[in-house]
Amino acid sequence: MPHARQHAIQHSQARTRERRHRLAHEAAKIIAQGGTRDFLQAKQKAAERLGIFDDASLPRNREIEEALREYQRLFVPDQDDALRVRREASVEALQFFSAFSPRLVGAVLDGTADSRSPVTLHVHTDENEAVDRWLTQNNIAYDVRTRRIRLDRHRDSDVTCYVFDADGLRFEVIALPYAVLRQAPLSPVDERPMKRANLAQVEGMLTESEIADYLR
């Protein structure tokens, strides 16, 4: 009997892993095809499509992100071009906002950006009006939106996001207090400190990519 029970447990665990795998890849497909970056929404839609509703089978956001990379590699042939264009544009944006200690974040940094992805920057200032003035002085028309950022596991904050288009690309510039520059907000993917890159780091990524392309 103990052997039979252990076999049943192993079989149940294998089924759960298989369901998590299926849900992760279905959620990744929803994200890739729909352009959404809402992992929870994609996960819920995937569960509805596949008829899988037990909590143990729900994949972590990081599993979905890994599945998204695989999906893009297999089914999005122009993804590398879209990513390169946005990383090159982020260099100019980081230079443009240099007075605000800017950092590149999001899909363009982590490598999952596609042709619909915006270039997302964090800029740091204790006076949001300074960002307004800078954009206005440079004749950049923009919309103002509010985004919720997880500063840490105990604090959320509503912050200002400036949205504008330039050279056919969408930019989202999120204004944060200078204090946040010392400690990155938490990632919506895994609730760990968000990955960020300054100008030199992004330029280094582009150089590494060019070398890799040359060697292929």
Predicted local confidence at residue 11, as pLDDT? 53
Contact 209, 84 (CB under 8 A): yes
Sign of CA dihedral 119, 97, 105, 85: positive
Contact 100, 201 (CB under 8 A): no
3-state secondary structure 137-185: HCCCCCEEEEEEEEEECCEEEEEEEEEEEECCEEEEEEEECHHHHCCCC
d(CA 50, CA 52): 6
Q: Name residues whose C-beta falls within 8 Å of residue 134's C-beta, 6 or more positions apart in sequence.
A: 97, 99, 100
**Percentage of the chain lying above the pLDDT 90 cut:** 50
Predicted local confidence at residue 164, as pLDDT? 98
Token match 């060697």: residue?
215
Which pTM was predicted? 0.81
Predicted local confidence at residue 147, as pLDDT? 93
What residue segments make up the domains of the chain, in order of their start? Answer: 2-75, 79-215
Predicted local confidence at residue 107, as pLDDT? 93
CATH number listed for the domain at residues 79-215:
3.30.460
Query: Mind listing the pLDDT tens digit of every residue in the chain (216 residues)?
Result: 565 566 555 656 778 888 888 888 888 888 888 767 788 888 888 888 888 888 777 888 888 888 888 887 777 777 889 999 999 999 999 999 999 999 999 999 999 998 889 999 999 999 989 999 999 999 999 999 999 999 888 889 999 999 999 999 999 999 999 999 999 999 888 889 999 999 999 999 999 887 776 676
Q: Return the structure tokens found at 184.
A: 């990155």
d(CA 97, CA 179): 17
Contact 102, 122 (CB under 8 A): yes
